[in-house]
Chains A and B, each alone.
Chain A
């Protein structure tokens, strides 16, 4: 289930390719089909194809998850895009229908350009923004299908295609809001490439590292516990043992809730799926707006492999790259227990000042190992 986003990316790429193939086939069999629509379908389809596979490679770790950027990258992409647009439009203006070979050449060049552009647009986007990219590509494959529908005058394709296109755009929009960034910023911003460094970089942080035994004792004294799962939990496949810990805490009469940030995981709603897989009842899964007031009277916030989504710098530090992003206000709770593998910054590349707060304690280790230990300790209480 952790690999779900990769699967979706692959299927999506094939969907885009299928639309492009259908349009090509139609163009080759009836040269009189409207060139602009053929190209639109082929262009978007091919772009979706390579873009999705780059996204897959990044999520799977074949390609560096970091943003890959080089000088003049934007310019190259812009040139390719402009070239493609002019190639799509120009033949209609300068060729007449007798010049089929001219059309055909333009057609092949457009395919190549789209394939390159798909890579060029996806490669500079960092791993944290992959959910947005995948849902955007999903929307593209829908648009490609709709364009194909226009080409072959098929209502089924138009309707399904535009439905998918609309749904992809809406999800993309929801996620962009979750990160307080515009779509343009996600696509061209390349966060994570260079560390702009928030103000917390310079400050020495007073990190308190605790053992799981001590963490278990703190949990024992708590009444209300909110678990904040992040991608670290998903990577460690720790959702099942997290549920067991929560259940044994509940058996001791404590309240346990889960706080799900809109961009937790690698896909919209990804964390919900993982927790549902672990049989966590979905009425204890709370979204951002529901859970934030709850932190005020919460005894322990248990953060499992989440980082940027709980960084208080997003609220006050204007120099931070994540400033303005809606976050979970875990720092409002009495104690914050943070489980992380190391002090490495999250995907946004910023150090989290939360770790140095007076009410924060760190428990280092793999989420699954740590939770297994914690489960033993809690059961012995």
Chain B
């Protein structure tokens, strides 16, 4: 953990830059799908939830992990479905 923290911060900062670059290039027309898409991405906590459930730990933290898994799954699936529905409307006819 101690050795990792510097590289984790580096990754964090680089990702902020990448995010900044990508999002600034999205035209305003697509801002709503962009928002619901990025919202779905924040459901990435699903990875953490799975790790928490798999971890060799007490019952309490497993149940909390399960709650996390449920929330994150709704977030990811719902978010991407909504985004997909919106993007379909923007398809060229």
Contacts from A to B (Cβ < 8 Å): 1, 4, 7-8, 10-12, 14-22, 24-26, 28-30, 34, 134-135, 138, 141-142, 144-146, 148-150, 152-168, 170-171, 174, 260, 262, 267-270, 272-273, 276-277, 279, 282, 285, 287
Residue of B nearest to A280 (CB): B89
Q: How far is the CB of B46 from chain A (nearest CB, A)?
A: 7
Q: Please classify the interface of chain A as helix (H, G, I), strand (E, B), loop, or mixed, using the class held by over half of its residues.
A: helix
Q: How far is the CB of A179 from chain B (nearest CB, A)?
A: 14
Interface residues on B, range: 35 or more
Judging by beta carbons under 8 Å apart, are A166 and B62 in contact?
no
Nearest first, the 3 A-B pairs at minimum CB distance are A29-B57, A166-B19, A21-B68
Judging by beta carbons under 8 Å apart, are B82 and A155 in contact?
no
Judging by beta carbons under 8 Å apart, are B74 and A14 in contact?
yes
Residue of B nearest to A267 (CB): B32
Judging by beta carbons under 8 Å apart, are B39 and A15 in contact?
yes
Residue of A nearest to B49 (CB): A22
Known: A4-B86, A14-B72, A162-B12. A145 touches B42 (CB 8 A): yes
Q: Across the interface, which residues of A come within 8 angstroms of B5, CB to CB?
A: 150
Judging by beta carbons under 8 Å apart, are B75 and A18 in contact?
yes
The one of B23, B44, B67 in contact with A166, judged by C-beta atoms closer than 8 angstroms, is: B23
Judging by beta carbons under 8 Å apart, are B93 and A161 in contact?
no
Question: What's the Cα separation between A20 and B65 when bound, in Å?
Answer: 10
The one of B15, B39, B44, B47 in contact with A8, judged by C-beta atoms closer than 8 angstroms, is: B39
Known: A11-B79, A29-B52, A159-B11. A17 touches B19 (CB 8 A): no
Judging by beta carbons under 8 Å apart, are A145 and B44 in contact?
yes
Question: 1/0 contact trace for B33-65 toward A, CB 8 Å?
Answer: 111101111111111110110010110111011
Q: For A142, A168, A276, which residue has the most chain B Cβ atoms within 10 angstroms?
A: A276
Judging by beta carbons under 8 Å apart, are A141 and B42 in contact?
yes
Question: What's the Cα separation between A268 and B28 when bound, in Å?
Answer: 7
Q: Please classify the interface of chain B as helix (H, G, I), strand (E, B), loop, or mixed, using the class held by over half of its residues.
A: helix
Q: Across the interface, which residues of B come within 8 angstroms of A144, CB to CB?
A: 42, 45
19 A-B contact pairs sorted by A residue (CB < 8 Å): A4-B86, A16-B42, A18-B45, A21-B65, A21-B67, A22-B68, A25-B57, A28-B60, A29-B61, A141-B42, A145-B45, A148-B48, A156-B44, A156-B47, A161-B42, A166-B19, A167-B34, A171-B35, A282-B90
Judging by beta carbons under 8 Å apart, are A21 and B47 in contact?
no
Q: Across the interface, which residues of B come within 8 angstroms of A19, CB to CB?
A: 42, 45, 48, 68
The one of A18, A25, A155, A269 in contact with B30, judged by C-beta atoms closer than 8 angstroms, is: A269
Residue of B nearest to A20 (CB): B68
Judging by beta carbons under 8 Å apart, are B23 and A170 in contact?
yes
Question: What's the Cα separation between A134 and B13 when bound, in Å?
Answer: 24
Q: Across the interface, which residues of A come within 8 angstroms of B75, CB to CB?
A: 11-12, 14-15, 18
Question: What's the Cα separation between A279 and B88 when bound, in Å?
Answer: 11
Question: What's the Cα separation between A11 and B32 when bound, in Å?
Answer: 14
Residue of B nearest to A287 (CB): B28
Q: Across the interface, which residues of B come within 8 angstroms of A270, CB to CB?
A: 32
Q: Across the interface, which residues of B come within 8 angstroms of A152, CB to CB?
A: 48, 51-52
Judging by beta carbons under 8 Å apart, are B42 and A15 in contact?
yes
Known: A150-B8, A153-B1. A28 touches B28 (CB 8 A): no
Judging by beta carbons under 8 Å apart, are B35 and A14 in contact?
no
Judging by beta carbons under 8 Å apart, are B60 and A12 in contact?
no
Question: 1/0 contact trace for B13-28 toward A, CB 8 Å?
Answer: 1011011101110001
Residue of B nearest to A276 (CB): B89
Known: A25-B62, A171-B31. A15 touches B72 (CB 8 A): yes
The one of A16, A160, A168, A273 in contact with B32, judged by C-beta atoms closer than 8 angstroms, is: A273
Q: How far is the CB of A339 from chain B (nearest CB, A)?
A: 24
Q: Across the interface, which residues of B come within 8 angstroms of A12, CB to CB?
A: 39, 42, 75
Question: What's the Cα separation between A338 and B16 when bound, in Å?
Answer: 44
Judging by beta carbons under 8 Å apart, are B36 and A277 in contact?
no
Judging by beta carbons under 8 Å apart, are A273 and B86 in contact?
yes
Question: What's the Cα separation between A34 and B4 when bound, in Å?
Answer: 13
Judging by beta carbons under 8 Å apart, are B68 and A15 in contact?
no
Question: What's the Cα separation between A170 and B67 when bound, in Å?
Answer: 30
Known: A26-B52, A29-B52. A15 touches B43 (CB 8 A): yes
